[in-house]
Structure 1
């Protein structure tokens, strides 16, 4: 099964999502890093890097105003 990588940006809790999907983790990671750089001053923004194979997805990195975590 093929793994897809997503960069997901949410401006407010439970708000709409802006999302991109890539076959290469490096491309998704670049977008994740770009969004963190642009929106890091906003305390409500959440940016996630997600790997998804089939129906199974997991967060690889997550950024919030409290900093970055790798769940």
Structure 2
């Protein structure tokens, strides 16, 4: 996978068709673009019960999940709903 230069935070959208399965990943420096991608992927794939879609912001060696979609429902929303996952 090609990584973006680490000039600042990176926003990553990860789509999995099953928890723990292979992932399709998109990375953007612009958080607004990443959010639009997350919403588009939820619209395209979110009706499947096993699909997991996460939007996370990576900075300073940690990844903060901003928004997530699992079991046909949102599970993490900002503000205040961030979960910190170690890289």
TM-score (norm 1): 0.91
Q: Which has the higher contact order (CA 8 A, sep 6+)?
A: 1
Number of aligned residues: 71
- RMSD after superposition: 1.3
CA distance in structure 1 between the aligned counterparts of 2:46 and 2:10, rounded to whole angstroms: 25
Structure 1: tracts of 5 or more residues without a match: none
Structure 2: tracts of 5 or more residues without a match: 1-6, 82-87
Q: Greater share of strand residues, 1 or 2?
A: 1
| Deviation, structure 1 residue 44 | 0.2
Point out the structure with max Rg over C-alpha.
2
Q: Runs ≥4 in structure 1, deviation > 4 angstroms?
A: none
